[in-house]
Structure 1
Amino acid sequence: MLSKPLLAVALAAAALCLSSQSLSAQQPAAPQPLQAMPYSPSLDVTSLDRSVDPCVDFYKFSCGGWMKNNPIPSDQASWDVYSKLANENQQFLWGILVEDARATNRTPVQQKVGDYFAACMNTSAIDALGDKPVRSELARIDALKTRPELLAALTRLHHEYAGSFFFGSGTDQDAINSSVIIAAVGAGGLGLPDRDYYLKTDDKSVKIREQYVAYIRQLLSLTSEPAEKTKADADAILRIETALAKGSLTRVDLRDPHKTYHMMTVAELAKLAPSIDWPLYFKTQDAAGVEKLNVSQPEFMKAVEAELSTEDLAALRAYLRFHLLTAAAPYLAHPFEQTNFDFYSKTLRGIPVMPPRWKTCTRAVDRNLGEALGQEFVRRTFSADMKARTQLMTEQIETAMQHEIENLPWMSPATKQEALRKLHAIRNKIGYPEHWRDYSTLEVKPDDYAGNAVRAYRFEDARQWHKLGKPVDLNEWGMTPPTVNAYFNPQMNDINFPAGVLQPPLYDSKLDDAPNYGNTGGTIGHELTHAFDDEGRQFDAKGNLRDWWTPEDAKGFEDRINCIRDQYAGYVIVDDTHINSKLTSGEDVADLGGELLAYIAWKKQTEGVKLTDVEGFTPDQRFFVGMAQWACENERPENLRVHAATDPHSPGFARINGVVSNMPEFQKAFGCKASQPMVHAPSCRVW
């Protein structure tokens, strides 16, 4: 992952992590730390809608009751089973943080997470500062009189602040030699979620750009900038960002690792963007001596160069001011965070109100001290038995994948051998890291929230740059332990399941195997299948970008994945917007392949065991209902539009109906007829 954010932290995270009001002494006290997480079963019959025929709309049958009983909270853009569990995890963490903030005899870990939380909760102190935490830096930007001065400031800003200033930089594994950490430069610099927001000409896109300009003006006006100047600055900022957007790759192109791998020398990069003193740039990032690096989007860097070399200095200063300010807004006084929320959350995602302050602060600690807070979470929630059970399920699903690869009729022996080599090399990470991250050099103060945020950024930025020339740490995680999510990393060739996602109702030790394999087993299979989706299949057992497929096998894969693309392209997300199946196909393939693997593993696990009906469902039916109920969701139309443009995941209804309609095992379990909607013809299958 690039250590420099390619979108400002405020845009990517804080838009969902802001308080609803300036809270101080009136803030209600947090609950006592929870003794146990709340319990919800992984198969809940109250979530069903039995008026719906499962062969017509299995998602609605499985989730209709849940959707009716779980309206979207006012501080959320959407609400689903994962969101609900994440909220419960946050409440649990809230109790831990209150305890750690108040305690007198604390460990170093408890001191850091407790003081970070306390500083965030002290909104009276935050409000009293106004924009003071960024005032001196804004003044330095205003004082830039020449282009060389501005370019030098750009280099320094990249080192010191989290704002998205024109482009991103950092370290990453070399795609060709994954054992090596290299420097990388990539696209960035946009304030809207995606390049298409700047380039599309439909009425909604035009309206959003108008609202974005209004946001820029309002934010700049909070620093006492005159109205006439805010108009000129906002117009200039949109002009600059539009030029950068035109040079950016599409979301679909970004899924092709070959299109984002362009190794070159620093001298070659200097020919693309000569305005920047690149040796000085890397020296300023504490990475002196960089000779070669990956420039993920050369055409984008040409667009950066055009702006830096020809754009009016006043416009460039305005751009830097805005990106510093919008990144800092969530950590400043209430008017700044409210303005930031009103655009990024209310306008773009339809969220009516900010979340309560305790959520903002819990998320902030998890984001910046995730493995410190994770130690506190794991100690209370994740037993050795739970880890062992998940490990066993993972191994069973990998065995199922081996059997499937060995018996694929469309794959040649040579490609099968490479696929099996990759499968056997995958590392399973379950629950939490083997070694916790050391935060001892990060200074956290109980009365300096904005300062803590800046120091946390600089700590992480330095940690990433320090990896240059070091062996790849195969034990490192990209998610914190309380996170309700999972992922596959193609260059590490590992699958990762944080403790947060292995809680009820996603994994439920109180229930039978059927819903657990349908739910958590499907998730494990999903992440495993990512190793062999349209993107993951391009990396080998060592995580290197290498074509290990015969041309015939590659064509066979594409033919099968195109069946899924054609199917999902017919689903409507919102309004008249269809799924962009070229963007979502990796996740769609993983959903289908993962559930097939989970079903095979469940059948093997229960082989020879006499299974009985429970709550009116056969074991096979319970497997599929358990599978479907992880995806129950409600979503605001504004958020659906954002996801349609940016999210590689299909909406919940498609992730369920699209899968079961391609599984004869489901159709047999529910007695579906060939003419019914949950029977897709032709049936699609890759793995």
Structure 2
Amino acid sequence: MNRFFTVALAAGVIACTQTSKEPPAIDVLDMDTSVSPATDFDAYANGGWKKRNPMPDEKSRYGSFDKLADTGEEQVKTLFTEIAGGKHAEGSIGQKIADFYSSGMDTAAIEAAGTSPLQPYWKQVDAITSVADMQQVVIDWHRMQVNPLFVIYADADQKNSSQVIAYLHQGGLGMPDRDYYLNTDERSLGIQEKYRQFIAGLLVHTGSSKEAAAGEAAAIYELEKKMAIASMSLLDQRDPYKTYNKMTIAGLSALSPGYDWAGYFQGIGLNDPGELVVSQPEFFAGVGKLIQTEPLDTWKLYLKYQFTNFMADYLSKDIVGLNFDFYGKTLSGKQVDRPRWKKVQGTAGSALSEAVGQLYVKKYFPPEAKKRMIALVENLRVSLGERISQLEWMGDTTKQKAIEKLNAINVKVGYPDKWRDYSALQVEKGSYVQNVLNSGMFDFTWMMGKVNKPVDKSEWYMPPQMVNAYYNPSTNEIVFPAAILQPPFFYMNAEDAVNYGAIGVVIGHEMTHGFDDQGRQYDKDGNLNDWWTAQDAERFNGRTAALVNQYSQFTVLDTIKADGKLTLGENIADLGGLNIAYQALRHVLKGDEKPIDGFTPEQRFFLAYAHIWAQNIRDEEMLRRTKIDVHSLGRYRVLGPLRNLPEFYTAFNVKEGDAMYLAESDRAVIW
């Protein structure tokens, strides 16, 4: 799956838990009934939850996802503690998890080592005397998944989805996106200055004097800014045709003549990749020119900084603190760094994600949850099929193709049928830094080994312990890791209205991704292939424009508006998921509509939906996500789609003049 085209439910968080005693599905204490649901449904449904769940100092955002992840971290900690207390054969999964974790928790050894683990890589940079030398350093580091300049990865060919191909993607920046370098408003200028100070601080740890570091940081910043100027915008990256540029090494060499591309591919172990996809040609052309025109000494400073920045969180506490001050405080507004055990557990758990996932499934995941989930998925599939058949704006030819694609969607629930083999991963007791680099090398070798081979459709792209879900356009599949199958998303013992409002909408959301503004461009086999009539495509675009306009009216903070274009795909999926799940609920109710705790099934459906997006968030994080996240903020995932559903108006008696009211002519009806 193209990791730069991940249509996930949310930014992923790891968790592992299944409680034997479920919390109440609809808890009135989570609500603020002093607010009218017709005025602000997020405040009405989630106001109590927000008050009862204040923002932890270590977080920039705290919502239902994050709370579930917190509980899960404790469960994973239990697994790790059990492993640490046991005896394990050399090379076993237990040994690797235990040694990786202990290497990260040995703060005395890490402090004593200081920056010595990085010295060999700095010496590599110091020895550079030519562009060829510089390229060899990039090759060596890319093989460890330290990625200066650009990123290479392997994924299904978007126009031949049965085969894996190599992709080149822009990268090499120290800030989250190009706009962080290019914006000139007061906030952005302040962040840019803080970033230069951060670069200078890291350079001091590499051996530069404080006086020299300021000038060196300015040079690095200006180089990154030039790379940012050459970069494709996030909005353009949402167009799969703009990012699908297949070429040979000869074509790439003509596009970017400043770089020895044949030597690069040979160096990383792909002697003959055949054709490859260059996602952002303008970026690679621009970087090729920069390699020819920028002083070699500036590139050396850049490389030394990039490596140090990549490894900063695995070093001594002064460097970890420097890293947190910029990425945690300045960019996200966090007050304190996460406890060390959480960070190390996350790193070790990521390096051995499926191994940890296998342990999780064995200990925490009930098989009956999988059975019930599959039944829900099939009910939602029927509902979407009905809705497609009844669409007034779509012609019969496109409808038939859409239903064929819907019926072809593969469903994965819980965990993979086969687990990844970690026997080749080298884990040492001593060096945390080396274990991180070994993990990167292991992943890179595994990934590049797929190139020019058939796609393994049994592979998962999220581990079971991740609280998330995703749709993969290249395999036309929806995937629900085990960890999301628990409250407040999935209840084993709750009535249908709650489960359809929560996990049902999640299922519908992922299904709808197959038909959003990106996913609709892939056929039932996962190929980038236009199967729409021109007239139907035009009608679709007209209907989605209404959604863009709606979300672009939301004021995130001060004068900053939400980006309705960047978040369009996710907003389509939220709206579609609600419509599909509500229709499926109507089928299963069959007239059994008794209120529970004073709420009708329809009201409980919408309350359950709103609760999965309950969220407190810091101003800095709101701004960061508005710039770079394709998902709307939690508040607008509640307010935005509900205003388009007539059933919501009926359930909560929303009338013209109410704040939640949207004129019928302005509402979006898509799926």
Same fold, judged at TM 0.5 (above): yes
Q: Is the 8 A contact 1:151 1:275 kept in 2?
A: no
Q: Which amino acid aligns with 2:137?
A: A
Superposed displacement of residue 224, structure 1: 2.5
Q: Which amino acid aligns with 1:649?
A: H
Superposed displacement of residue 578, structure 1: 0.6
Deviates more, 1:443-452 or 1:133-142: 443-452
Percent same amino acid at aligned positions? 39
Q: Is the 8 A contact 1:518 1:624 kept in 2?
A: yes
SS of equivalent residue, structure 1 residue 611: coil
Deviates more, 1:145-154 or 1:635-644: 145-154
Q: Is the 8 A contact 1:126 1:332 kept in 2?
A: yes
Verify: 1:548 aligned to 2:531, yes or no.
yes
Q: Is the 8 A contact 2:88 2:95 kept in 1?
A: no
Cross-structure match for 1:400: 383
Structure 2: distance between partners of 1:332 and 1:244: 28
Structure 2: distance between partners of 1:188 and 1:35: 38
Cross-structure match for 2:496: 513
Superposed displacement of residue 128, structure 1: 1.4
Q: Is the 8 A contact 1:174 1:180 kept in 2?
A: yes
Cross-structure match for 1:148: 132
Cross-structure match for 1:27: none
Cross-structure match for 2:102: 118
Verify: 1:169 aligned to 2:146, yes or no.
no
Verify: 1:446 aligned to 2:429, yes or no.
yes
SS of equivalent residue, structure 2 residue 655: coil
Q: Which amino acid aligns with 2:594?
A: T
Structure 2: distance between partners of 1:248 and 1:126: 37
Superposed displacement of residue 445, structure 1: 2.1
Cross-structure match for 2:181: 198
Structure 2: distance between partners of 1:72 and 1:39: 24
- How many residues are aligned here? 662
**What aligned pairs does 1:385-424 form with structure 2 within 5 A after superposition?**
385-424=368-407
Runs of 4+ deviating beyond 4 Å? 33-39
Superposed displacement of residue 36, structure 1: 4.5
Equivalent of 2:38, from 30, 44, 55? 55
Q: Which amino acid aligns with 2:635?
A: F
Cross-structure match for 1:235: 218
SS of equivalent residue, structure 1 residue 367: helix
SS of equivalent residue, structure 2 residue 430: coil
Cross-structure match for 2:597: 615
Q: Which amino acid aligns with 1:645?
A: K
Could you report, residue by residue, the CA deviation over 1:460-493 in whole angstroms, capped at 9, with x for unpaired residues?
1111100012110111111111111111111111
Q: Which amino acid aligns with 2:212?
A: K
Q: Is the 8 A contact 1:164 1:190 kept in 2?
A: no
Q: Is the 8 A contact 2:18 2:365 kept in 1?
A: no
Structure 2: distance between partners of 1:131 and 1:105: 31
Cross-structure match for 1:497: 480
Verify: 1:642 aligned to 2:624, yes or no.
yes
Could you report, residue by residue, the CA deviation over 1:621-643 in whole angstroms, capped at 9, with x for unpaired residues?
11110111000000000001100
Superposed displacement of residue 38, structure 1: 7.7
Deviates more, 1:498-507 or 1:552-561: 498-507
Cross-structure match for 2:657: 675
- What is the CA RMSD across the aligned residues, in angstroms? 1.9
Structure 2: distance between partners of 1:273 and 1:631: 44
SS of equivalent residue, structure 1 residue 507: coil
Q: Is the 8 A contact 1:48 1:63 kept in 2?
A: yes
Superposed displacement of residue 438, structure 1: 0.6
Cross-structure match for 2:55: 72
Q: Is the 8 A contact 1:38 1:88 kept in 2?
A: no
In structure 2, the CA distance between the partners of 1:189 and 1:557, relative to structure 1 (3 Å rule), is same
Equivalent of 1:382, from 354, 359, 365? 365
Structure 2: distance between partners of 1:521 and 1:499: 15
**What aligned pairs does 1:3-402 form with structure 2 within 5 A after superposition?**
36=19, 39-104=22-87, 108-159=92-143, 161-402=144-385
Instruction: Mark the runs of 5 or more structure 2 residues left unpaired by the alignment.
Output: 6-10
Equivalent of 2:647, from 651, 658, 665? 665
Q: Which amino acid aligns with 1:148?
A: A
Structure 2: distance between partners of 1:151 and 1:661: 54
Cross-structure match for 1:24: none
Instruction: Mark the runs of 5 or more structure 1 residues left unpaired by the alignment.
Output: 7-11, 18-32
Superposed displacement of residue 618, structure 1: 1.1
Superposed displacement of residue 223, structure 1: 2.3
Structure 1: distance between partners of 2:385 and 2:445: 41
Q: Is the 8 A contact 1:72 1:79 kept in 2?
A: yes
Structure 1: distance between partners of 2:99 and 2:84: 6
Structure 2: distance between partners of 1:506 and 1:406: 29
Structure 1: distance between partners of 2:26 and 2:353: 30
**What aligned pairs does 1:494-643 form with structure 2 within 5 A after superposition?**
494-608=477-591, 610-643=592-625
Q: Is the 8 A contact 2:273 2:452 kept in 1?
A: no
Deviates more, 1:164-173 or 1:146-155: 146-155
Q: Which amino acid aligns with 2:119?
A: R
Deviates more, 1:543-552 or 1:669-678: 669-678
Deviates more, 1:515-524 or 1:327-336: 327-336
SS of equivalent residue, structure 1 residue 657: helix
Structure 2: distance between partners of 1:37 and 1:554: 48
Structure 2: distance between partners of 1:443 and 1:368: 11
Structure 2: distance between partners of 1:439 and 1:104: 18
SS of equivalent residue, structure 1 residue 566: helix
Q: Which amino acid aligns with 1:534?
A: D
Deviates more, 1:563-572 or 1:164-173: 164-173
Superposed displacement of residue 398, structure 1: 0.7
Q: Which amino acid aligns with 1:663?
A: L
Cross-structure match for 1:684: 668
Structure 2: distance between partners of 1:36 and 1:564: 38
Could you report, residue by residue, the CA deviation over 1:416-474 in whole angstroms, capped at 9, with x for unpaired residues?
11111111111111111111111011011233211111111000111110001211011
Q: Which amino acid aligns with 2:614?
A: C
Superposed displacement of residue 105, structure 1: 5.0
Q: Is the 8 A contact 2:196 2:221 kept in 1?
A: yes
Superposed displacement of residue 286, structure 1: 1.4
Q: Which amino acid aligns with 1:515?
A: V
Superposed displacement of residue 225, structure 1: 1.4
Structure 1: distance between partners of 2:102 and 2:343: 12
Deviates more, 1:300-309 or 1:629-638: 300-309
Structure 1: distance between partners of 2:23 and 2:197: 44
Cross-structure match for 2:8: none
Structure 2: distance between partners of 1:471 and 1:587: 30
Structure 1: distance between partners of 2:573 and 2:113: 48
Q: Is the 8 A contact 2:178 2:228 kept in 1?
A: yes
Structure 2: distance between partners of 1:35 and 1:298: 46
